[in-house]
Structure 1
Amino acid sequence: MFSSALKSISATNITANYSVSPNSTSAAGPWKIYDAKKKSTGKAYSVFVFERKSLEGHGHSMGRSGASSFKRSVEDVVDRLKKEASSLAKLRHPSILELVEPVEETRGGGLQFVTEAVTASLASVLQEKDEQENTGGRSSRYVTEDSDGVRRRRELEIDELEIQKGLLQISKALEFLHENAGLVHGNLTPDAILINAKSDWKISGLSFCSPAENSTKPTSIHGINLHEVLNMDPRLPKTVQLNLDYTSPDFVLDNSLTPSADMFSLGLLSVALYNSPHRSPLESHGSLSSYKRSLSSSSTVPSPSNSFLSSRPLPKDLANHVLPRLIARRPAQRMTAREFQQSEFFDNVLVSTIRFLDSFPAKTPSEKSQFMRGLNKVLPSFPKSVMEKKILPALLEELKDRDLLSLILQNVFKIIELLPSARRAFGDKVRPALKSIFVVNAKQGQEKDAARDAGLMVFLENLQAAAENSSGKEFKDDILPVILAAIECPTHAIVDAALKTLPAVLPVLDFSTIKHELFPVVAMVFSKTTSLAIKVRGLQAFVVLCGGSSDGSSDDGLNGLGADRKAPSSSSALDKFTMQEKIVPLIKAIKTKEPAVMVAALNVFRLVGQVADAEFVAMEILPILWSMSLGPLLDLGQFQARRAGP
């Protein structure tokens, strides 16, 4: 536990500036991973902690010379782990784990550093999947904390698309290491891969990273001695030593350090992702002699003839076209990381969609628009976890492109429709983004903005989804300001659409909010508009605000609302005072004699008349109705409707 570890740690930059969870959420080799938040910002990060006592507990019952030798071995391990963290600082790439705070030594001789927030190591995920399969689907034993403090069990996804997406990301990191940095990772295992909150796979575990043979790339990363790292030390835990199960024969048999060694490891890792249990097809049990024996027999060397020793079927493209060019004895026969990315294994629409999103900033406006139009049809085919953790955040990041605003929002609401966890995703990601775009960062004044208007229209069309996935307070704080901005929009079509949403809005809001925040804006727009259509729509909004129904009403107002004698609902309608003292004067001030406006006003009066005092009806409403009934443009049916009164 981190809390117990803190007792032996002097005050450091990390402990002073980060609030660290007392329990680890995952492990990556010798590192325990803890959730953390920066005290100054509240932003989530991860703290990697190595405790020196995890090594020293293995060195008991040794003589003086043995103890001295073991101490040197421990120091070598600590130096390698320091190198792992410092290498992250030197190697910046989207698919390499991002270092936030450099490695620090603790008072007990341990180490700790801070990275971007990660959910788990791939090793932890695979181990947990094995445990679930062995126990009939037991729930995850790892608990994570949401941004709002709610604790829930970690969700695990390792389906086909997650694997393809993850391997693609790892190969991009390897391409960077090999071609740009001139380095060999040297120990590519599930422990060396971290999965972040967006379900992106990131390379870490750089303890055995080394410059490639004959590399001319300048680097400050020190190389490894293959003879030393292949000398397995039984006094040390396996987690701090080279994992032979994922090691290339280039290291063991050829004493060669080339990038192609990582590609052999990538092939073994690929098999492990489908295998059951999820482990490498090579099992050496930490023994060099066992490793060499495995490679000397065709029955124990992964190959097409033995299905690469996988207990489960492998994807056809992977088994037929990719693995034979990864798990190959000769380095020259292996794919490069770049070739791996172009292989048939990734030739499908879902992976192509992910790849397009990853390279989205580099695309032309035309390509972006075409992609967004087609994405809606593809989304139902994606795993739910990929939609929530990968696609949705990527789309929200692009909302800054105003020309794509409406297209992006169509896809965002499609994802919300498809997600079982829609309420969480909408609250954590979508709702704050909507408020930011349409309220916080909106243009001031009454300028028309076609791109913003198009986005607002999509939002209004999907308002029911926003209401269903928000509490009353959340709706009031984040969604209502957007609706009010739409009602005040200078574009009539947006105002019309916004006023039509009131039946979905009122049930979510409390009476005070309706009366003091929503109604004044509707009233202001109604009184100021010069548009006949908006005037009619405003009167229809008053009907809803007074507890009536908008169902069945048409532009002339003659075929539904008049028959609706339902009493106003106290939970979703205005009070008698507001109806009498606010709405009636607004209608009285109408100057137009257009029949559509007068008939719509009659529908409001009918509802007001059901709750108003008799004296008020006689003195205020009836004179207005009488005046309106004399309008020269009324036809016979409209005149008779006015004569019928409220």
Structure 2
Amino acid sequence: MFKVFKTTGIEGNYSISSNPLFVSNGCWTIYPAKHKTTKKKCSVWQFNKKEWETRLMNNGLMNRSNKQMVQSDIFEAVKNYISNLAKFKHPNFLTVIEPLEDHKSRILFVTEYVVNDLQTLNKSQLDEIIITKGLLQIANALKFLHQSVHTVNLNINPSSIFITENFDWKMSGLQFIENLENGIAERYIDPLDSRLPAFLSIDFQFSSPNLLLKHNVDYVNDLFSLGCLIYYLFNDGGHLIACSNSSLLEYERSFNRNLKMMFCN
């Protein structure tokens, strides 16, 4: 079942399955693995640079003149994802075991063993007990993030929450975090070209109007996102705010429509 790719680094220290368990957020291919010495199970994450380069070339977003700039933006987001996640040591955050390893054609890192994320998970595996336990774990992660390190996540959504084989939920997706030690910050979120990878932007469907429309970065943004997640979990994967990441006008219309329905009821 397991094979070894190389003799150094992550691929030298871990026996990695040739079959991935799942693909997260459209960019991370996640493989089950074991440490060669300790035999402890873990997950090896791979981001394929060449695959994304080909995809962006075919979509007309990357050419010879802008290649370096586009690649830099994408790889910077990927590296922020890993480096920010590695900063937080808390039982309800996804644990990074081996930091980023940057190769010519791919990026690798290792985390504790996970079997799925909330986006790719078969929702029939969830019941009220599992959901309640998981939401409590995410709430504890948020409490730590807000009260202990004065930081807001801004990226709470199904693809940023990972599940262990014991159905523990782990927070990740920290590439957009903001420190609020000096109080409320201001941030303008630009719509994303739909041809670009979704991980370059926060998910509008799980984002607060306080952030997207008023441009305020505050703890309330994460609480709103948590509310959207609760709706998603108890409504068969439906979205409270139905929109894409490419239009703030579409987001505003969807939010106002839901607001009007609430008051009418």
Question: How far did residue 61 of structure 1 move?
Answer: 6.5
AA of the residue aligned to 1:283: A
**Greater alpha carbon shift after TM alignment, 281-290 vs 17-26:** 281-290
| Of 244, 249, 254, the match for 1:285 | 244
Cα pair 1:213 1:256 within 8 Å, conserved = no
Structure 1: 5+ residue runs without aligned partners? 130-155, 217-222, 307-646
> What is the alpha-carbon distance in structure 1 between the residues aligned to residue 79 and residue 260 of structure 2?
35
Judged with a 3 Å threshold, the aligned counterparts in structure 2 of structure 1 residues 305 and 168 are, in CA distance, closer, same or farther, namely farther
Q: 2:136 aligns with which of 160, 168, 177?
A: 168
Letter in 1 for 2:239: S
When residues 39 and 268 of structure 1 are mapped into structure 2, their CA distance, relative to the original with a 3 A threshold, is same
Would the aligned equivalents of 2:146 and 2:152 in 1 still touch at CA under 8 Å?
A: yes
Q: 2:32 aligns with which of 23, 26, 35?
A: 35
Q: Contact 1:182 / 1:215 at 8 angstroms: preserved in 2?
A: no
Distance of 2:248 and 2:181 partners within structure 1: 23
- 8 Å contact 2:92–2:169 — kept in the other structure? yes
User: In the alignment, is residue 184 of structure 1 matched against residue 152 of structure 2?
Assistant: yes
Aligned to 1:460: none
Instruction: Indicate whether 1:253 and 2:206 are aligned.
Output: no
User: Does the CA contact (< 8 Å) of 2:59 and 2:195 recur in 1?
Assistant: no
- Summarize deviations over 1:84-124 as a string: whole Å, max 9, x none: 1111221111100111001111221x211111111211111
Q: Distance in 2 between matches of 1:175 and 1:31?
A: 27
What is the CA deviation profile of residues 201-230 of structure 1, one whole-angstrom value per residue up to 9, with x for unaligned ones? 0101111122137249xxxxxx9x843x53
- 1:20 is matched with 16
1:55, 1:74 within 8 Å by CA — same for their partners in 2? no
More strand by share: 2
Cα 1:303–1:48, aligned 2, differ >3 Å: closer, same or farther?
A: farther
Distance 1:283 1:300, change over 3 A: farther
Indicate whether 1:106 and 2:131 are aligned.
no
Q: Paired residue for 2:92?
A: 95
**Rounded Cα–Cα distance in structure 2 between residues aligned with 1:258 and 1:12:** 43
The answer to whether 1:269 aligns with 2:237 is no
Q: Where do 4+ consecutive residues of structure 1 move more than 6 Å?
A: none
1:74 has 2:54 as partner? no
Name which of 169, 178, 185 aligns with 1:201.
Answer: 169
Query: For the Cα contact (< 8 Å) 1:18–1:37, is it kept in 2?
Result: yes
| Closer/same/farther in 2, CA of residues 99 and 294 from structure 1, 3 Å limit | same
Inter-partner Cα distance in structure 1 for 2:176 and 2:83: 12
Aligned to 2:197, which of 219, 222, 237?
237
Normalized per residue, the structure richer in helix is 1
TM-score by length of 1: 0.38
Distance 1:13 1:302 in 2: 55
Q: Is residue 38–residue 44 contact of structure 1 (8 Å, CA) maintained in 2?
A: yes
Does the aligned pair in 1 maintain the 2:42–2:110 contact within 8 Å? yes
Distance 2:240 2:137 in 1: 22
Q: 1:429-454 deviations in whole A, cap 9, x for unaligned?
A: xxxxxxxxxxxxxxxxxxxxxxxxxx
- Preserved CA contact (<8 Å) 1:95 1:172: yes
User: Which fold has the larger relative contact order, with Cα–Cα distance below 8 Å and residues 6 or more apart in sequence?
Assistant: 2
CA distance in structure 1 between the aligned counterparts of 2:57 and 2:64, rounded to whole angstroms: 7
Q: Specify the SS of the correspondent of 1:123.
A: coil
Query: CA offset at residue 78 of structure 1?
Result: 1.3
Deviation at 1:21, TM superposition (A): 0.9
**Compared CA separation, residues 273 and 40, structure 1 to 2 (3 A):** same
Q: Percent identity?
A: 35
Unaligned runs of 5+ in 2: none
Structure 1 residues 288 and 116: alpha-carbon distance in aligned structure 2, compared to 1, 3 A threshold: same
Matching residue of 1:124: 120
Inter-CA distance 157–173: structure 2 relative to 1 (3 Å threshold)? same
What RMSD, in angstroms, separates the aligned Cα atoms of the two structures?
Answer: 2.7
Structure 2 vs 1, CA of residues 116 and 303 (structure 1 numbering), >3 Å: closer, same or farther? farther
Aligned in 2, Cα 1:302/1:67: closer, same or farther, shift over 3 Å?
farther
How far off its partner does 1:38 sit? 0.4
Cα deviation for residue 58 of structure 1 reads 2.3
Partners of 2:7 and 2:13 within 8 A in 1: no
Q: Secondary structure at the match of 1:118?
A: coil
The structure-2 alpha-carbon separation of the partners of 1:202 and 1:256, relative to structure 1 and needing over 3 Å to count, comes to: same
Residues 608-642 of structure 1, C-alpha deviation per residue, up to 9 Å, x if partnerless? xxxxxxxxxxxxxxxxxxxxxxxxxxxxxxxxxxx
Letter in 1 for 2:99: P
1:55 to 1:210, Cα distance in 2 relative to 1, 3 A: farther
* Inter-partner Cα distance in structure 1 for 2:174 and 2:243: 22
Could you report, residue by residue, the CA deviation over 1:38-71 in whole angstroms, capped at 9, with x for unpaired residues?
Answer: 011211001111112343212337498x654464
Q: Which amino acid is 1:100 matched to?
A: I
Matches of 1:171 and 1:63, distance apart in 2 = 38
* Alpha-carbon separation, structure 1, partners of 2:81 and 2:72: 14
- The alignment partner of 2:193 has SS state of coil
Q: Which amino acid aligns with 1:167?
A: L
What SS does the corresponding residue of 2:133 show, helix, strand or coil?
helix
Matches of 1:11 and 1:194, distance apart in 2? 29
Change (3 A) 1:245 1:11: farther
Correspondence 1:481-500 to 2 at 5 A: none
Q: Does the C-alpha gap of structure 1 residues 212 and 62 become closer, same or farther in structure 2, counting only changes over 3 Å?
A: same
Find the aligned partners of 1:212 and 1:258 in 2 and give their Cα distance.
7
In 2 relative to 1, CA 115–301 (structure 1 residues): closer, same or farther, beyond 3 Å?
Answer: farther
Instruction: Give the counterpart letter for 1:170 in structure 2.
Output: I
Go from structure 1 to structure 2 and tell me whether the alpha carbon gap of 1:275 and 1:85 turns closer, same or farther (over 3 Å shift): same
**Does structure 1 retain, via aligned residues, the 8 Å contact 2:204–2:243?**
yes
Partner of 2:56: 58
TM-score, normalised relative to structure 2: 0.88
